[in-house]
Amino acid sequence: MEFSAQQIADYLKGKVVGNPEIKVSNFSKIESGEPGTLTFLSNPKYTDYIYTTKASVVLVNDDFEPKQELNVTLIKVANSYDALASLLTLVDSYKPKKTGVSSLAVISEKATIGENPYIGAYTVIEEGVKIGKNAQIYPHVYIGDNVQIGDNVILYPGVKIYKECVIGNNCTIHAGSVIGSDGFGFAPTADGRYDKIPQIGIVEIKDDVEIGANTTVDRSTMGATVIGKGVKIDNLVQIAHNVEVGENTVMAALTGIAGSTKIGKHCMFGGQSGVTGHLAIADGSIMAARCGVANNIKNPNGMYHGYPHMDAKLFQKAYACFKSFPVFRQDLMDLQKQVKELQEKLNNKE
């Protein structure tokens, strides 16, 4: 399927700079663009590639002004990254969706499945399950007793949802993720053993959530572990029992959130960041990669580095000193030597 630059600009409410009739039929990266493809420029680090790319059309922000001659057609939009996402969503919507229920799926007679489902082979759906319309449930998915799943949900191969958990509308859970496994609750005994504390709560995932591959969200001891509306979670993330994640928060891979922590709205967690248990994290908090949060964050919209976490600007100053420690050490040793020599001279004069 081909589209002209002008057609794309009309859809995005953008402005063409160059040939409005040039056509594209695919997407490409700006650094490895090919004729007949569309690419985008969002990160300033990639600006130089716009002068060498072989792509036919480039989405750019409204304020982009070239510093030399271009060989591509531009489409200027308010936000090129958002515009690209809109185009990719449109293209994806044209791809055919799987339908039908495999004869190899095992579905309880007491389960309720909405209209227009796809249920793949070797999927197991237990009794009392309720699934909304347009579900896409790939092979080897397990859905436990009394789970509730909303409309337009996608569960990729190998997803496991334990009993009584709740999944909202328009959610996507990628392969191998486990929702509702027991929280890590054990009570030490006098003889040194650990007795398991039954985890009788659930996981509740609100609408428009996406969870990456091999991520785990533990059920609560009581009540619910809650993933708020619009949250986006990467691969290999651990969300412990009784955690609450505020809406539109994002977490990169290998993040770990310990039990009973409450995370605000619109927070960001870099890769391998972590939060200890029973804390409160203010709205808009940003944790850089490998940041470790050990205390409550009370003020909203702060950015943090390091472990224990500290204000990002303070961390950068402290790290600049840390890198200079070997020089400081040598200077101190030289100064100590000079003082010792001077003291010896003074002693000899006496």
Backbone angles phi, psi at 38, to 5 degrees: -110, 140
Q: What is the pLDDT of residues 37-87, one digit of tens each?
A: 999 999 999 999 999 999 999 999 999 999 999 999 999 999 999 999 999
Residues in the chain: 350
Q: Is 266 a catalytic residue?
A: no
| pLDDT score of 320 more than 90 | no
106: left (phi over 0), alpha (psi -120 to 50) or beta: beta
- Residue 324 has a pLDDT of 87
Q: In what order do the strands lie in the sheet with 136-137?
A: 100-101, 118-119, 136-137, 154-155, 172-173, 210-211, 232-233, 250-251, 268-269, 286-287, 303-305, 310-311
Exposure string of 150-162, with b = 16+ CB inside 10 Å and e = fewer, is bbbbbbbbbbbbb
Give the lowest-confidence range in 79-83, 139-143, 164-168, 342-346. Answer: 342-346
| pLDDT score of 340 more than 70 | yes
Q: Structure pTM?
A: 0.89
Confidence of residue 350 (pLDDT cuts 50, 70, 90): low
Longest dimension (CA), the chain: 104
Give the lowest-confidence range in 92-96, 114-118, 219-223, 247-251. Answer: 92-96
On average, the pLDDT of the chain sits at 96
| pLDDT score of 346 more than 90 | no
First CA to last CA distance, the chain:
97
Tell me the CATH architecture of domain 3-94: 3-Layer(aba) Sandwich (3.40)
Strand partners, 167: 149, 205
- Residue 349 has a pLDDT of 76
Q: Taking the domain 159-308, which CATH number applies? A: 2.160.10.10
| pLDDT score of 278 more than 80 | yes
Which residues neighbour 92 within 8 Å (Cβ) at sequence distance 6 or greater? none
Q: Report DSSP state, residue 308.
A: T
CATH 2.160.10.10 in the chain is located at 159-308
Q: What is the pLDDT of residues 154-197, one digit of tens each?
A: 999 999 999 999 999 999 999 999 999 999 999 999 999 999 99
- Residue 345 has a pLDDT of 85
Active-site option among 174, 241, 305, 309: 241
Q: What's the rounded mean pLDDT across residues 197-219? A: 98
Backbone angles phi, psi at 327, to 5 degrees: -70, -45
| pLDDT score of 348 more than 90 | no
Q: What's the rounded mean pLDDT across residues 7-33? A: 97
* Cα four-point dihedral sign 322, 327, 333, 339: negative
- Residue 338 has a pLDDT of 93
CATH 3.40.1390.10 in the chain is located at 3-94
Q: What's the rounded mean pLDDT across residues 128-150? A: 98
Backbone angles phi, psi at 123, to 5 degrees: -80, 140
* Cα four-point dihedral sign 195, 262, 172, 129: positive
Angstrom distance (rounded) from CA 226 to CA 173 = 15
State percent of the chain over pLDDT 90: 91
* Cα four-point dihedral sign 332, 335, 337, 340: negative
- Residue 94 has a pLDDT of 87
| pLDDT score of 26 more than 90 | yes
